Amino acid sequence: MTPQQRTRIKMCGFTREADVLSACAAGADAIGFVLYPPSPRSVSIERAAELARWLPAFVMPVLLFVNDTPERIQSACSAVPGALLQFHGDESPEFCAAMSLATGRPHLKAARIPLSEVADFDLLEFALLHQQAQALLLDAHVDGYGGGGKTFNWSLLPPNVNAHLVLSGGLTPANVGDGIRALRTHGLSLAVDVSSGIEAAKGLKDANKIQQFVAAVRAADADLL
């Protein structure tokens, strides 16, 4: 299997050490910590730093922000060395690029894909505006921020996005393989991101679901060899 054929896996919304260890043991490539206080999965900067210390080599911490201040973003980066930034709100391309420059950290930008087929959203234009992002995270546009466990219509995405893509929004062990098969060639590469689909309750992960999710991703990879 070539590097391009292995789908990388980000798991997000961790609040407990045991869950972090389960995800790493199962094969997660990145572990996300939500630093958005209204979220039920939110942790403090100090708690994110504690959890990130359990990550082994080559598993990347990701810090999720929603319309946050530069000062708090920089504080979080100081507390969690080597973390990738994820901007999940209404941050402008200029703000995201400026924070990457100020912190020395690459960033992901969430593209909130409408659930309605008639809604106006141009992913190609979004990719052009956010071309300094390391990847675009494709999530469902629901009230508030985050996908809310909802899956958008994958077939509506253009097949020629000039960006690395991370599929998110309502992924589970049952449907992640379909998502990978549907969108594998739509961008420069495809990764996946899961939160609610591996949970027993909000912010509390289920070790069996974590293992099932990774197994489903690997099975989809094998199908596409």
pLDDT of 67 reads: 96
> Minimal CA–CA distance to 1: which of 220, 164, 171?
220
* 170: in domain: yes
pLDDT of 148 reads: 60
Range of the structural domain that residue 105 is part of: 6-223
Q: What is the pTM of this model?
A: 0.94
Burial of 114 (0-12, 13-18, 19+ CB in 10 A): middle
> Quick one: tokens of 47?
């708690």
pLDDT of 114 reads: 84
pLDDT of 2 reads: 41
Active site residue 143: no
User: How far apart (Å, rounded) are the C-alpha atoms in residues 84 and 214?
Assistant: 21
* 214: in domain: yes
Q: How many domains does the chain have?
A: 1
User: How far apart (Å, rounded) are the C-alpha atoms in residues 5 and 184?
Assistant: 9
Q: Is the torsion defined by CA of 4, 27, 9, 99 positive or negative?
A: negative
pLDDT of 104 reads: 97
* 1: in domain: no
pLDDT of 120 reads: 72
Instruction: Check 24, 68, 77, 139 and give the catalytic one.
Output: 139
* 81 within 8 A of 48, measured Cβ to Cβ: no
List the pLDDT tens digit at each of the 225 positions of the chain: 344 579 999 999 999 999 999 999 999 999 999 999 999 999 999 999 999 999 999 999 999 999 999 999 999 999 999 999 999 999 999 999 999 999 999 999 999 888 776 567 899 999 999 999 999 999 987 666 655 667 888 988 999 999 999 999 999 999 999 999 999 999 999 999 999 999 999 999 999 999 999 999 999 999 887
Strands (E), 146-198: 164-167, 189-194
CATH code for the domain in which residue 40 is found? 3.20.20.70
* 165: in domain: yes
Instruction: Check 12, 24, 77, 96 and give the catalytic one.
Output: 12
Rounded (10°) angle between helices 17-26 and 45-52: 40
Active site residue 68: no
